Structure 1
Amino acid sequence: MTCVQPNSQPPAPRRAHGHDYEIESLEEFDRVVASGSLAGHRVQSVDLTDRTFALLGTDTAESVFLGCEMEPDAAAKVRAGGALVFPPIPGLPFDPYRGDLHGPDELFEGLVDSGYDTTPDARTYRWYQETRTDGDIFASMLRSIHDDAISDALDEHVAGARVVGIMGGHALERDSAAYAGAARLGRRLTRSGLTVATGGGPGAMEAANLGAYAAPFDDGMLDSALELLAKAPHFTPSITDWARTAFDVRRSWPGGGASIGIPTWFYGHEPPNAFASHVAKFFVNAVREDGLLARSNAGVVFLPGAAGTVQEIFDNATPNYYESRGEPTPMVLVNRAHWTEKLPTWPLLQALAADRPMAPRIALVDSVEDVPEALARLTTGAAS
């Protein structure tokens, strides 16, 4: 890592509107260079080994290069020209400076030929396990930079979208009626124009992402996909078999609908699912959970789950209660018996909401079939 010399001044933070000063691809780099200057720009994880001539001839004052491959002469020139350079870190199984979200093909690279343990996702989890408790400030910094970069990429991706979060337990098996119901819900919400976002893992989360993936196809596609997935109903005992069946579905029906998965390496035993087209995977679970809920501006649906889902209900209820994010967003709990008898969360949520602006924005419904109508009603603020 190149350090700033004590007598030098770090590049000033940008105060431009939007992210027009960020460069995240070669195409953007070439366009900016053609305008005559890279001064003040942030170049994020772009391979510039073939752009030495451009770097040598362009103003780079107060610019920042994050994880960009460069020839030594080019790196020396941009530093001398007033840029701050954070070079790539060799040997890491992830890119801490990335400018875009993960994709399932990237996270599961090598799955088909060599199994899950060889994938970038599995190797990153092992790195996390090795470094999370050793007190190494460098590893901690890399995790923080990565999570901040992913948050930035997620903000860019959801800008202008109406996002509905779907929460639920990871233990739901693919051959269950509840899994099929969650998939139909994801499909229906996607077809209505909403962007489905989940915790990005297995179970109910995978089902909702699968439904979004199935949205462009005829209804029979989802039934066929469920039949295929039932061959590996759970991610235990073999993540490899579980994930391979998902990619079998993707190969059989390429070009599915888009959705978002927001998983975490904190739960390393819990792999991401392959049906979310855009994956924002975090090291810090608290950042992941808050980020998912905060971006669900069209409401959050809570399918039956256990401790994690209960936590998410009240993580979402708190800013709704205090209106810390502005107007409360809709919250729909699904399965009356689960949330009033097995885990009686609904009575407490009702008590919290009493006489608060969030009161007309919460609902308890019997099944996933009731969710779209409930979301529409709560969005208008009508009493539930």
Structure 2
Amino acid sequence: MEIETLAELDDHLDSGEPLSGLRLQNLDLSGHAEHLAAHGDLTGLVVLGGTVPPAVAEVLLHRGAIVFPGIADAPVDPWRGLYFPDDLYAGLEQGYAATPDARAYAWFVDAKLRTDAYCTLVRAIHDDSVTDELDEFVAGRSVVGIMGGHALQRHSEPYAAAAGLGHALAEAGHLVATGGGPGAMEAANLGALCRTPEAVEEAVRRIAPVPGFRPDVTPWATVALAARAVVVGDEPPGASETLGPTARSLGIPTWFYGHEPPNVFCDVIAKYFSNAIREEGLLARSTAGVVVLDGAAGTVQEIFQAVTPLYYARDDAPGPPLVLVGREHWTETVPVWPALQALARGRRMEQAVHLVETVDEVLPLLPSVAPAPPP
């Protein structure tokens, strides 16, 4: 049983029930030494991160608990789970290199740390914590994944179209999930975050003067954070667990592609060190379908990752739809569609894969979302 708040912990301690099997996640246990000691044997209790003063640690360890302390010299808190955009871009006024996002990437690519057992453990714990909270965040939601290249420029028509698609999907009740990076991913997240078409147009207008993240992430992120503040206001974000039912925009990026900064137009960001876990997780959580905009090698890889479960799906369960947008791009520029047709021929997969010309044709191909019950 996971305990994620002090109120939950206090209730359990007061109940007198045994603590074996509990997982205390990222809690401040200051002042809890006596209360924990009163339970005698603590074998099977696991403390994951948080604040564990010496007096509490002594009680825990001497009575059989397992304590995983916080990591003092890593640029990330491996126990924290999901991020808000301001978490990753704190200190941006001093330049992108000073932000937690950039420092985490530098730590990740450090040659001496890549194979260090301690750092490998920190990254694994971090990614598991992200997965744990992400599962809770998307539970019960209709999730549509949008894939597309990072090179799409903010002042382009395709960018505006991708933003319009993200908005339409969110308005239809879907949670829009992307790889969380620039370009088409940013556009879809932006559109989903905005509550009106007018807000989408205004946000795109505000960020268009800095069309891409090269050569410097700092102005690209600065103008985006200012535009986001207009969209959502300056109030601090709520807890991710309370945002889940109302969230519209989710980004799932990776430090493996650290040269691509995360976009800020997400309700929350699930950022991973492992790209393999991140890619599989994004596709697996796209329960209502995957929409693919223009892209190159990375996007093609994601297409075939999405195709594999469709190809092997049972006859009575063809799987969520996979929709490729742009006939010329996917039949001539990057001729993926002919390969998909060949794989799908004679299989139930034929019902799940689609090629359309524009984003306006996407929504009717996806399952509709049942309206929320009245309060």
Task: State the distance in 2 between where 1:23 and 1:69 align.
Answer: 14
Task: State the distance in 2 between where 1:228 and 1:290 align.
Answer: 34
Aligned pairs (5 A) from 1:122-201: 122-131=102-111, 134-201=114-181
Residue 266 of structure 1 is matched in structure 2 by: 256
Q: Give the secondary-structure state (helix, strand or coil) at the position aligned to 1:164.
A: strand
Provide structure 2 residue ranges, at least 5 long, that are not aligned to the other structure: 234-245, 369-375
Residue 118 of structure 1 is matched in structure 2 by: 98
Give the aligned length.
353
Matched, 1:308 2:289: no
How far has the Cα of 1:32 moved from its partner?
2.5
Change (3 A) 1:102 1:134: closer
How far has the Cα of 1:138 moved from its partner?
1.4
Q: Tell me if the contact between 2:28 and 2:52 (Cα under 8 Å) persists in the aligned partners.
A: yes
Aligned pairs (5 A) from 1:206-355: 206-214=186-194, 216=195, 218-254=196-232, 258-323=248-313, 327-355=318-346
Residue 29 of structure 2 is matched in structure 1 by: 48
Task: State the distance in 1 between where 2:339 and 2:70 align.
Answer: 49
How far has the Cα of 1:326 moved from its partner?
5.9
Task: State the distance in 2 between where 1:96 and 1:267 align.
Answer: 19
Residue 356 of structure 1 is matched in structure 2 by: 347
How far has the Cα of 1:131 moved from its partner?
5.0
Matched, 1:366 2:357: yes
C-alpha distance after superposition, 1:23-75 (max 9, x if no partner): 12333323333323433210112222243443333453311111121110111
C-alpha distance after superposition, 1:77-126 (max 9, x if no partner): 0112221001111121111122x311111111111x32221111111111
Residue 9 of structure 1 is matched in structure 2 by: none
Task: State the distance in 2 between where 1:86 and 1:209 align.
Answer: 35
Change (3 A) 1:50 1:182: farther
Moved more, 132-141 or 82-91: 132-141
Task: Pick the aligned partner of 1:39 from 11, 14, 20.
Answer: 20
Change (3 A) 1:326 1:81: farther
Matched, 1:83 2:65: yes
Residue 380 of structure 1 is matched in structure 2 by: none
Q: Tell me if the contact between 2:23 and 2:47 (Cα under 8 Å) persists in the aligned partners.
A: yes
Give the TM-score, by structure 1 length.
0.87
Q: Tell me if the contact between 1:132 and 1:140 (Cα under 8 Å) persists in the aligned partners.
A: no
How far has the Cα of 1:156 moved from its partner?
1.3
Task: State the distance in 1 between where 2:36 and 2:209 align.
Answer: 53
Instruction: Name which structure has the greater RCO, CA cutoff 8 Å, separation 6+.
Output: 2
Q: Give the secondary-structure state (helix, strand or coil) at the position aligned to 1:182.
A: helix
Task: State the distance in 1 between where 2:31 and 2:159 align.
Answer: 48
Residue 16 of structure 1 is matched in structure 2 by: none
C-alpha distance after superposition, 1:138-188 (max 9, x if no partner): 111211121122112111111111100000000001111101100110000
Q: Tell me if the contact between 2:50 and 2:70 (Cα under 8 Å) persists in the aligned partners.
A: yes
Give the TM-score, by structure 2 length.
0.90
How far has the Cα of 1:232 moved from its partner?
1.0
AA paired with 1:86?
Answer: F
How far has the Cα of 1:353 moved from its partner?
0.8
Q: Give the secondary-structure state (helix, strand or coil) at the position aligned to 1:358.
A: helix
Aligned-residue identity in percent: 50
Q: Tell me if the contact between 1:165 and 1:198 (Cα under 8 Å) persists in the aligned partners.
A: yes
Change (3 A) 1:132 1:352: farther
Task: State the distance in 2 between where 1:259 and 1:349 align.
Answer: 29
Change (3 A) 1:53 1:244: farther
Moved more, 257-266 or 160-169: 257-266
Task: State the distance in 2 between where 1:173 and 1:57 align.
Answer: 61
Q: Tell me if the contact between 1:101 and 1:154 (Cα under 8 Å) persists in the aligned partners.
A: yes
Q: Give the secondary-structure state (helix, strand or coil) at the position aligned to 2:161.
A: helix
Residue 184 of structure 2 is matched in structure 1 by: 204
Task: State the distance in 2 between where 1:58 and 1:71 align.
Answer: 18
How far has the Cα of 1:287 moved from its partner?
1.0
C-alpha distance after superposition, 1:200-224 (max 9, x if no partner): 001000101001110x2x3211111
Task: State the distance in 2 between where 1:264 and 1:311 align.
Answer: 15
AA paired with 1:329?
Answer: P
Task: State the distance in 2 between where 1:314 and 1:35 align.
Answer: 51
Task: Pick the aligned partner of 2:83 from 80, 85, 102.
Answer: 102
Change (3 A) 1:109 1:134: closer
How far has the Cα of 1:376 moved from its partner?
4.2
Task: State the distance in 2 between where 1:232 and 1:50 align.
Answer: 50
Task: State the distance in 1 between where 2:10 and 2:313 align.
Answer: 44
Task: State the distance in 2 between where 1:36 and 1:126 align.
Answer: 47
Task: Pick the aligned partner of 1:92 from 71, 74, 79.
Answer: 74
How far has the Cα of 1:318 moved from its partner?
0.7
Residue 66 of structure 1 is matched in structure 2 by: 48
Moved more, 31-40 or 164-173: 31-40
Task: State the distance in 2 between where 1:326 and 1:133 align.
Answer: 44
Cα RMSD after superposing both structures: 1.9
C-alpha distance after superposition, 1:310-334 (max 9, x if no partner): 0000011011111289642210000
